[in-house]
Amino acid sequence: MKLWVGLGNPGPEHAGNRHNIGFMAVDRIAADHGFGPWRKAFHGLVAEGRLGAGRMLLLKPLTFMNLSGQSVRAAVDYYRLPVEAITVFHDELDLAPGKCRFKRGGGHAGHNGLRSIHAHVGPDYARVRLGIGHPGRKELVVPYVLHDFGKADRDWLDPLLEGVSDGATALAEGDEARFLSMVALRVHPPRPPRAQQETAGAHEPGARQNGRGGNGRPAN
């Protein structure tokens, strides 16, 4: 079994916060891949399912961000999981909005959820870092992460979450490169070939064809 943890804060007042993108990611995976219903366990909410051939437990700690490690530790102890079986999905200030990176081990970079997990299970778990951008000044960080995503953010947020879900099976199978490629394809889909664009443009209303304008008169 593998344990995937989405970080966030509980309660409807926090549901749309930038800090809750980890919750959003595991919610999307659960919905798209037919996981069982969310239920209370381990000081959080859990959903069970399979990705590929592997059994998976999704966890959303309800301890608030700063105490996330308590929930993770409870699940780890119950299932006797090694730290290598844990992957944490979290918001990342140091990545531009829509960027996604995979990392195993290392420091917590001041992220309070990761800091708590470090304290309870050590640093050797994997992380999926979901970029939300930085407000520019340190004193603005707390209100920024505790503020809801704006309407304009949906242009990159929805494709990012779709990509995370698309690549979930690859990630579960240990193919991190394929996972990141699938995310990138959603966030930055390839443009059609130029010839295809020109062909499509030629059939748009008002397009000039055979030397005439869209009104049938000779083009100037």
**Residues known to be catalytic:** 19
Which CB contacts under 8 angstroms, 24+ apart, belong to 119-126?
A: 119/69, 120/69, 120/70, 120/72, 120/73, 121/69, 121/72, 121/73, 121/76, 121/83, 121/86, 122/83, 124/83, 124/84, 125/83, 125/84, 125/86, 125/87, 125/88, 126/84, 126/86, 126/87, 126/88, 126/102
**CB neighbour class for 177 (10 Å; exposed up to 12, middle 13-18, buried from 19):** exposed
Q: Which two tokens stand for residue 20?
A: 């809750």
- Which one, of 96, 11, 109, 13, lies nearest residue 61 by Cα? 11
The SS3 call for residue 16 is coil
The residue written with tokens 């891949």 in the block is: 33
The letter for the amino acid at 219 is A
- Which one, of 26, 28, 32, 29, lies nearest residue 45 by Cα? 26
